Amino acid sequence: MNRGRLFVISAPSGAGKTTLLKGVMSGIAKMKFSVSHTTRVPRNGEVDGVDYHFVSRETFEKMIAEGKFLEYADVHGNLYGTSHASITEQLANGYDVVLDIDVQGASILRDIPGFDAAFVFISPPSLTELERRLRGRATEDESKIQVRLRNARTELESMDKYDYIIVNIEISEATHLLSSIILAERAKSHRLPSGDPIEKVLQ
Ligand code: 5GP
């Protein structure tokens, strides 16, 4: 069986990544979302084990000590991490796995020798528009919005390290673009199961 492909997706908070990923994941077969661990409190409607594994700081730190994380980072004052377990089984079963992680986590993964993934950055059209969207969704109080806006500036400075950049001006266009990137990555010649397609075509 062909091992799945990893997609590392980063975006400043409010860039529209969650909506974008939902649209893409529902339209493409054999894709799974890596469920991260976080010490952040759940937002309204978020489900433990689906959106995140919501854990205490103590549990998270124990997991760090036990080497359970492929990467982790402090984002906006909370800890977030990708466990080895959240991706290995899916990959082995041939699923492509999407990792929704911040720029620090992406940088850690990029530095792991032999780590193979497609890195995609979702950018808002501008910081002004990002601020408008963050206020519009009203999930954070003013101080948290200020932290996220400050961090967004730094995150945008990392975008040139990514393989692909999607400027999310219009959601359906951005969804189409991300889907196309995933499908193109799947079709890369070295991703095809060894010899198999060629033999089939030559029959
Ligand atoms: P939110 O609190 O809005 O769900 O996520 C805040 C930030 O944490 C987002 O930029 C998201 O990409 C990042 N994030 C979520 N899971 C992980 C993870 O496992 N590792 C890292 N490094 N960042 C994560």
- Is 67 part of a structural domain of the chain? yes
- Is 48 part of a structural domain of the chain? yes
How far apart (Å, rounded) are the C-alpha atoms in residues 17 and 175? 10
- Is 59 part of a structural domain of the chain? yes
Both tokens of 10, joined, read: 């980063």
pLDDT tens-place string over residues 156-167: 999 999 999 999
The number of distinct structural domains making up the chain is: 1
pLDDT at 189 over 90: no
- Is 203 part of a structural domain of the chain? no
Q: For atom 9 of ligand 1, which residue has the closest CA?
A: 102
Backbone dihedral angles phi then psi of residue 14, each to the nearest 5 degrees: 100, 0
Both tokens of 83, joined, read: 């466990």
- Is 202 part of a structural domain of the chain? no
Both tokens of 162, joined, read: 């990514």
pLDDT at 132 over 80: yes
Cβ(14)–Cβ(144) below 8 Å: no
Q: For atom 23 of ligand 1, which residue has the closest CA?
A: 101
- Is 201 part of a structural domain of the chain? no
Percent of the chain beyond pLDDT 70?
Answer: 94
Average pLDDT across the chain, whole number: 91
- Is 66 part of a structural domain of the chain? yes
pLDDT at 203 over 90: no
pLDDT tens-place string over residues 143-153: 888 988 999 99
To the nearest 10°, report the CA torsion of 77, 162, 185, 71: -30
Ligand 1, CB cutoff 6 Å, lining residues: 13, 36, 40, 71, 73, 75, 80-82, 100-102, 104-105
Give the residue numbers spanning the domain of 39. 6-194
- Is 199 part of a structural domain of the chain? no
How many CA within 13 A on the CB side of residue 96?
Answer: 22
pLDDT at 48 over 90: yes
Whether pTM exceeds 0.85: yes
CATH of the domain at 67: 3.40.50.300
Mean pLDDT check: name the lowest of 113-127, 132-146, 164-178, 187-201.
187-201
How far apart (Å, rounded) are the C-alpha atoms in residues 31 and 48? 20
Please tell me the total number of residues recorded for the chain in this structure.
Answer: 203
CA of 170 to the centre of ligand 1 (A): 23
Q: Where are the beta strands (DSSP E) in 124-198?
A: 164-167
